[in-house]
A and B are shown apart, each in its own frame.
Chain A
Amino acid sequence: MSLWVDKYRPKSLDSIDYHFNISKRLKSLASSGDFPHLLVYGPSGAGKKTRILATLQELYGPGVNRMKIDVRTFKTPSNRKIEFNIVSSPYHIEITPSDLGNNDRIIIQDLLKEIGQTEQIDFQTGKHRFKIVIINEADSLSRDAQAALRRTMEKYSTNIRLILISNSTSNIIPPIKSRTLLIRVPLPTVNEIVGVLSKIAEKEDIRLPSNEDEKSSILAKIAEHSDRNLRKTILSFEALAMTNDSISSACKLVELDWEKVIADLSKQVVKDRSVKNLSQSRSVLYELLSHCIPAKIILKELTFNLLCDPRVTDPMKYDIVDASSLFDERLSLGSKDIFHLEGFLARSMVIMESKK
């Protein structure tokens, strides 16, 4: 366990440091012996996966941690072979169907049916006969795949339980929502994060300011800087610890390149509202996209950067948020990211120009 994110991941429900009521509910679910289908949702870095793995541990004991990775090949209808990674333990199986784009339906159909049709027998206890299937990024499942899922969930419910993990429920079709128990995992508060970080610092022997106030203010700063995303916070905390001997308020916070690029871009947009600038920003957008930054994240960052800009007045802000949501929809409906990102820039330039 090398990265701290991994190293200090809580293994059991009891050792999770925040959202105790969720832990309690999960624990009682696990202890009841039976288990509904779950849909766990919440922003990234809130600890969804951690909680689920801890629940599995609660349910099945430490055997869950004996995980291995299989590579399975599937055949698409067009006879193309696709490879697919599956993480599995004796008790559960974990898949990320969205890796396959439009072919995710095949995985859902083939794999789940296959698992569903074979019954698990536990000779020792005679209970927990079901196997758990964790589906990551359920919100990016295609409609077809979700439709394939809904009947499977009912038909094979004696043999499998599904745990869907997603960032939001908006992309999940209502029939699936109605078949699952929804659990929302919100982001931890800043104070909770500070607690986690100081725990880590203690174990890792990181030199922090001795003054308690100063220390917590720094940790809070780190947490806020990473948008309370716990994974990101721990990662950047580790980065800080590596680049500095001791963490103090003088330390430069971790700023990622792509974030900086977007910040620059938004500054440029506010400053110079012209076609020339638009075509320049196009190449920046291309560069961002080519660095594998998802278009939606670019749009989100851009919007927040624009909103935070002091030159943007309040009436503009309403319109920018409006435009942002419009283009966010376009991004999800369309497929040509660059058109819509540039469209958003043009629109926000127009907004700023008209509300001057």
Chain B
Amino acid sequence: MTIPEETQVPVIPNFSSSSLNAQDKAKDHENSHTLTAENNEITSENNNEVGQKQMTEGNPITETSSAPSSFALPSFKMSSLFGRSTGQNQQSQCNEYQSKDTQEESQEPTDTQVNRSSLFDSSMSQGTETPTFSFNFRASSLGKRHDIDESMSVADEESQKNLNESLKILSGGSKDQHLDENNIQKSSIQENVEQSENNENESDSGNAQLIIEKVPDFSAMFSKAKPKTVRLSNGFEFQLKPKAQSIFKKSATTDDDSPKSYGVDINKVYVEMEKMEKMKKLRESNSNTKTKRYKGPLWVEKYRPKSFLDLVGNEKANRLALRWLKHWSTAVYGEDISDGLSKLSSRKNFNAGGDDSAENQQPTDVYNRPNKRILLLHGPPGIGKTTIAHMITKHLNYDAMEINASDERSGQSVKEKIHNAMDTHTFSGNPTCIVADEIDGASENGFIKVLIDLVIKDARATRNIAQRSSGGGKKTKSRDKLILRPIIAICNDLYAPVLEKLRPHCEVISFRKPNETQIKDRLEKICSAENMMMTSKEMSQIVAISNLDIRSCLNLLQFNGDSIIDDDMQQVRAKDSNLTWYKIVDMIFKLDLQRSKSETFSDLQNDLNSVSSIEKIVNGCFQVYPQTVYSDPALIKKSDALGDWLYFYDIMLNSKYQQNSDLVWYCNQVPLKFYSLFAEGKSTSKPKNYSIHNSWEYFELQKSNFDICQKAITDNVLMKPSMFSSLNSRDFVAIEILPIINNYILNPSFTDKDKSFLSNGDSKRKIDHLLNLLNDFNFKIENVISDQGIKALALLPIMDSVTTFQKVSQFKSLDSQRQTLLRNLLFEAEKRKRAITATKRKFHETQDAKSATVTAAAAKEENNLKVAKNNGSVDFFKRSYATLNKGGENSEATKAAPVDSELKVWIKYHEGFSNAVRKNVSWNDLWS
């Protein structure tokens, strides 16, 4: 990533290091993320760093024109932090980024992505005195109007109250801000903003509508700031709305940093001061807050988001989920939403099933329900999946009926429950929405099957209704029920085997971990509500320790608040969470000279006990150790010793598949042996090659070869039961039969190559033998196009990968050697076939009492064949066919037309591309 950090933000030592950290972290991210996602993460993290930087460590004294313009809604959209007014250059660079990113991500932009561009703050400074505007785009495809929150800092407690009450919490500007009020700049919107905006329109449209509906008119609230309308060159119209500044950061100032310093790094000093001050306060308040904190409800429950906008992160997913649920309104409430929704949703229409072709195929539902009747939310724990499910149900006035792992979920009981929920009304009068939580733990035959049955029955019922409405359908007495209440399923692991069958019936929405800033914003809010003091660094630590899990963040905050910075704790927690197998393998082969060996040893032991992928680790060690440099006085003693340990490992691991799986635990000791044997601190200069895929490659090859052998048994040997009973062992096939057949028997040598194959007794015998073989084993000779694109005859099935070893084999170009042979075999086979058809025909015709002529014809034919036999091999076909042709009247078509004095031979091309010229060609044209 090439974010021009230097130019965007004045150099702050602290910052650059932390952004590096962020990058490292992103790199270390497991490969579960796709590359683009990772990229995206890096950018967003960087951006957040930047924004956060400005918040926390910003220099209160600003001298330049560049100033941060907006802080919006910590809990709601972190990325408005991104908005900084910088020079035009950087701005355009950023924009390029975004458009590029959006294109890359156009399939499914991540939430941060959405945020960043939908709430894009574009600004352009034209001079030092030019004021900055910060736009908050809300895309709505309806009228192609964009509501833009104009960033204004209004230091007004009252207005802030208003805002908080309203659904859209806009934040008021803080009082502490010194210069912000004046930092309003005019901006012009660049072309690429529109581009990214347009991209967003597609993916984001509709969602905004739902929210916007509920947004009170800002112009009413801010009487002094009227909405402005901006018209772009391409006809787009934006409305600029006033937007307030964040207040959550009481101590932080939002001014941008000064590019000039006064000899001292003022940021650093400031941070130190701030921290000290806070710690002091903390300690003072410790006595009373601590006890208070442990009392009362769990924070996790207390601060469970109450409204849609309290949700942290995953904005897009949240909105998708909300929209999905909104689609049920017609079915449930009888509302007519078709106007708003269907127009809104140009691309991501649930009804359309994603694309237009699906729309054509599937008749629109009578109740206008989403096509996929079940919503499946998935994502890692602690990011608010259950919360969002409950939130949206509440939001749209449903009563959530939760079925989770704590409930009885066997088939029958759950069926009753669901039917009860769907068919009845609750006392509150609200319809129910089923929330099936922790569905990946349900049993496949129980709950999942009930759900699938529901969907299938519903599909049938819907079809019936559609048929009836179209008039053509016959009235069927069906017990199929429509699903008239939404069902939301939640799981952690989308690819759990139990969900395999359910997945296609579900609208899948994936949740990701929110990023650090988003969580921190939320935590800050909570801290301030709980009167707790935390520096942002501490906050970051909490977030890092809990591995971006908000729930555990809150738990940590509540019960561990002061001691979070404690190093031990961090170590302990961090270690438990994220150690990938290759990191451990790295650790095993590294000797830290600073620490004693026994110390590292016990550390490693702890690590190994906490990881689950012991198999990967041992395999990795096994692959890596030959590459490491170590001293072995007795040469290979160490490898030998290793053999015993690996045996131990193998036996222990095998117990997994037997009853006593507790032995698996001892496998953890094996990597330690690697450590004690091979870690000698002499690091190899070359990067270690974790060629686990290497062994995997072999494994794949082995599987494919097994398959060939198995196929050879079933397809080829099986043709003859008697053969099967003697040659059915796969081992024999692999080590004896196939190699000998392929490399020797089917590769005969003819001493008299120049002469005819067929006149010679020996060769004739061999060819006959081969033909029998081919016949019995069901081998085929066909034209195969090789990797190099050369078309050649080959024997199918291809067995070379089993029978030949590239290194030693003398049969390197087996098939090329075989060409002549195969051609001859083909010819012979063809000839025999003809002989058979000839005899068959003969039989027929004798029945037709035409025996006399036919025997003559047959005799003649035999003659012809004899002639063919006497011909040479090189231009074999030509001459033999020529003789056939000269023989004339008796040569026959493959389609075996009744005997005629005039016969034609047709050639059919099975391969090739030329359809351009198709012309009947006679033999004479070809050969004479």
Whether the pair A282, B804 counts as a contact (CB closer than 8 A) is no
Query: Any chain B CB within 8 A of the CB of A258?
Result: yes
Whether the pair B640, A349 counts as a contact (CB closer than 8 A) is yes
A9–B744 Cα gap in the complex (Å)?
Answer: 21
Q: Within residues 768 to 822 of chain B, which ones have a CB less than 8 A from any CB in chain A?
A: 769-770, 772-773, 775-777, 801-805, 807-809, 811
Given contacts A235-B740, A244-B749, contact A136 B729 (CB under 8 A): yes
Query: Any chain B CB within 8 A of the CB of A109?
Result: no
Q: A236: which B residues are within 8 A, CB to CB?
A: 740, 744
Q: Within residues 283 to 299 of chain A, which ones have a CB less than 8 A from any CB in chain B?
A: 286-287, 289-294, 297
Q: Which one of A6, A137, A242, A287 has the greatest number of beta carbons of chain B within 10 Å?
A: A242
Q: Within residues 234 to 263 of chain A, which ones have a CB less than 8 A from any CB in chain B?
A: 235-236, 238-240, 242-245, 254, 256-258, 260-261
Q: B634: which A residues are within 8 A, CB to CB?
A: 350, 353
A190–B483 Cα gap in the complex (Å)?
Answer: 79
A102–B658 Cα gap in the complex (Å)?
Answer: 11
Q: B762: which A residues are within 8 A, CB to CB?
A: 207, 245
Query: Any chain A CB within 8 A of the CB of B639?
Result: yes
Query: Any chain A CB within 8 A of the CB of B748?
Result: yes
Whether the pair A289, B702 counts as a contact (CB closer than 8 A) is yes
A27–B644 Cα gap in the complex (Å)?
Answer: 50
Q: Within residues 33 to 67 of chain B, which ones have a CB less than 8 A from any CB in chain A?
A: none
Q: Within residues 688 to 731 of chain B, which ones have a CB less than 8 A from any CB in chain A?
A: 695, 698-699, 701-702, 705-706, 709, 714, 718, 720-731
Whether the pair A256, B735 counts as a contact (CB closer than 8 A) is yes
| 1/0 contact string of A255-282 vs chain B (CB within 8 Å) | 0111011001000000001111011001
Given contacts A232-B736, A274-B635, A275-B639, contact A53 B650 (CB under 8 A): no
Q: A76: which B residues are within 8 A, CB to CB?
A: none
Where chain B touches its partner, the secondary structure class is helix
Query: Any chain A CB within 8 A of the CB of B765?
Result: yes
Among all A-B residue pairs, the 6 with the closest Cβ atoms: A343-B643, A239-B744, A279-B626, A334-B650, A67-B721, A292-B734
Contact with B744, one of A99, A243, A293, A333 (Cβ below 8 angstroms): A243
Chain B: CB-nearest residue to A67: B721
Whether the pair A239, B642 counts as a contact (CB closer than 8 A) is no
Contact with A261, one of B651, B747, B807 (Cβ below 8 angstroms): B807
Q: Within residues 203 to 234 of chain A, which ones have a CB less than 8 A from any CB in chain B?
A: 205, 207, 231-232
Whether the pair B698, A330 counts as a contact (CB closer than 8 A) is no
Whether the pair B640, A350 counts as a contact (CB closer than 8 A) is yes
Closest Cβ of chain A: how far from B446's Cβ, in Å? 14
Query: Any chain B CB within 8 A of the CB of A44?
Result: yes
Q: Within residues 302 to 352 of chain A, which ones have a CB less than 8 A from any CB in chain B?
A: 330, 333-336, 338-340, 342-344, 346-347, 349-350
Q: Which one of A87, A231, A294, A339 has the greatest number of beta carbons of chain B within 10 Å?
A: A339
A104–B771 Cα gap in the complex (Å)?
Answer: 38
A47–B547 Cα gap in the complex (Å)?
Answer: 66
Whether the pair A291, B650 counts as a contact (CB closer than 8 A) is no
Closest Cβ of chain B: how far from A107's Cβ, in Å? 15
Query: Any chain A CB within 8 A of the CB of B766?
Result: yes
Apart from the given pairs A292-B706, A292-B735, 15 other A-B contacts in the complex at a CB distance below 8 Å: A6-B727, A53-B725, A69-B724, A102-B657, A238-B740, A238-B745, A245-B762, A257-B805, A261-B808, A273-B636, A294-B735, A297-B731, A339-B646, A343-B643, A343-B644
Q: B741: which A residues are within 8 A, CB to CB?
A: 3
Query: Any chain B CB within 8 A of the CB of A49?
Result: yes
27 contacts between A and B (CB under 8 A): A5-B726, A5-B727, A6-B722, A6-B723, A50-B726, A68-B721, A85-B728, A87-B728, A96-B729, A207-B762, A235-B736, A238-B745, A257-B805, A261-B805, A275-B632, A275-B635, A275-B636, A286-B695, A290-B698, A291-B803, A330-B650, A339-B650, A340-B646, A343-B643, A343-B646, A350-B636, A353-B634
Whether the pair A85, B714 counts as a contact (CB closer than 8 A) is yes
Query: Any chain A CB within 8 A of the CB of B751?
Result: yes
Chain A: CB-nearest residue to B770: A242
Q: B632: which A residues are within 8 A, CB to CB?
A: 275
Closest Cβ of chain B: how far from A130's Cβ, in Å? 19
A235–B803 Cα gap in the complex (Å)?
Answer: 15
Query: Any chain B CB within 8 A of the CB of A124?
Result: no
Q: B699: which A residues are within 8 A, CB to CB?
A: 290
Closest Cβ of chain A: how far from B151's Cβ, in Å? 60
Query: Any chain A CB within 8 A of the CB of B559?
Result: no
Given contacts A242-B745, A243-B748, A343-B647, contact A2 B640 (CB under 8 A): no
Whether the pair B721, A340 counts as a contact (CB closer than 8 A) is no
| 1/0 contact string of B416-452 vs chain A (CB within 8 Å) | 0000000000000000000000000000000000000
A258–B740 Cα gap in the complex (Å)?
Answer: 11
Query: Any chain A CB within 8 A of the CB of B612?
Result: no
Q: A338: which B residues are within 8 A, CB to CB?
A: 695
Q: How many interface residues does B have (CB within 8 Å)? A: 77
Closest Cβ of chain B: how far from A341's Cβ, in Å? 10
Query: Any chain B CB within 8 A of the CB of A192?
Result: no
Q: A94: which B residues are within 8 A, CB to CB?
A: 725
Q: B748: which A residues are within 8 A, CB to CB?
A: 242-243
Whether the pair A258, B651 counts as a contact (CB closer than 8 A) is no
Query: Any chain B CB within 8 A of the CB of A65?
Result: yes
Q: Within residues 51 to 102 of chain A, which ones have a CB less than 8 A from any CB in chain B?
A: 53, 65, 67-69, 85, 87, 94, 96, 99, 102
Whether the pair B651, A286 counts as a contact (CB closer than 8 A) is no
Q: B379: which A residues are within 8 A, CB to CB?
A: none
Whether the pair B731, A294 counts as a contact (CB closer than 8 A) is yes
Whether the pair A99, B730 counts as a contact (CB closer than 8 A) is yes
Chain B: CB-nearest residue to A95: B728
Chain A interface size, under 10 / 10 to 19 / 20 to 34 / 35 or more: 35 or more
A293–B738 Cα gap in the complex (Å)?
Answer: 12
| 1/0 contact string of B752-768 vs chain A (CB within 8 Å) | 00000000001001100
Contact with B766, one of A242, A289, A294 (Cβ below 8 angstroms): A242
Whether the pair B647, A273 counts as a contact (CB closer than 8 A) is no
Whether the pair B650, A340 counts as a contact (CB closer than 8 A) is yes
Q: B723: which A residues are within 8 A, CB to CB?
A: 3, 6
Q: B647: which A residues are within 8 A, CB to CB?
A: 330, 334, 339-340, 343
Whether the pair A343, B642 counts as a contact (CB closer than 8 A) is yes
Closest Cβ of chain B: how far from A242's Cβ, in Å? 4
Contact with A87, one of B626, B724, B731 (Cβ below 8 angstroms): B724
Query: Any chain A CB within 8 A of the CB of B654?
Result: yes
Q: B747: which A residues are within 8 A, CB to CB?
A: 242-243
Q: B744: which A residues are within 8 A, CB to CB?
A: 236, 239-240, 242-243, 254
Whether the pair B802, A292 counts as a contact (CB closer than 8 A) is yes
Whether the pair A275, B626 counts as a contact (CB closer than 8 A) is yes
Whether the pair B808, A257 counts as a contact (CB closer than 8 A) is yes
A136–B718 Cα gap in the complex (Å)?
Answer: 16
Whether the pair A137, B772 counts as a contact (CB closer than 8 A) is no
Whether the pair A353, B773 counts as a contact (CB closer than 8 A) is no
Whether the pair A336, B725 counts as a contact (CB closer than 8 A) is no
Closest Cβ of chain B: how far from A196's Cβ, in Å? 16
Closest Cβ of chain B: how far from A290's Cβ, in Å? 4
Query: Any chain A CB within 8 A of the CB of B743?
Result: yes
Q: B720: which A residues are within 8 A, CB to CB?
A: 6
Query: Any chain A CB within 8 A of the CB of B622?
Result: yes
Closest Cβ of chain B: how far from A134's Cβ, in Å? 8
Chain A: CB-nearest residue to B772: A2
Chain A: CB-nearest residue to B639: A346
A274–B639 Cα gap in the complex (Å)?
Answer: 10
Closest Cβ of chain A: how far from B623's Cβ, in Å? 9
Q: A333: which B residues are within 8 A, CB to CB?
A: 650-651, 654
Closest Cβ of chain B: how far from A10's Cβ, in Å? 12
Given contacts A85-B714, A275-B639, contact A1 B776 (CB under 8 A): yes
Query: Any chain A CB within 8 A of the CB of B358?
Result: no
Q: A232: which B residues are within 8 A, CB to CB?
A: 736
Chain A: CB-nearest residue to B803: A257
| 1/0 contact string of B175-188 vs chain A (CB within 8 Å) | 00000000000000
Closest Cβ of chain A: how far from B434's Cβ, in Å? 27
Closest Cβ of chain B: how far from A351's Cβ, in Å? 9
Q: Which one of A9, A257, A275, A349 has the greatest number of beta carbons of chain B within 10 Å?
A: A257
A207–B702 Cα gap in the complex (Å)?
Answer: 40
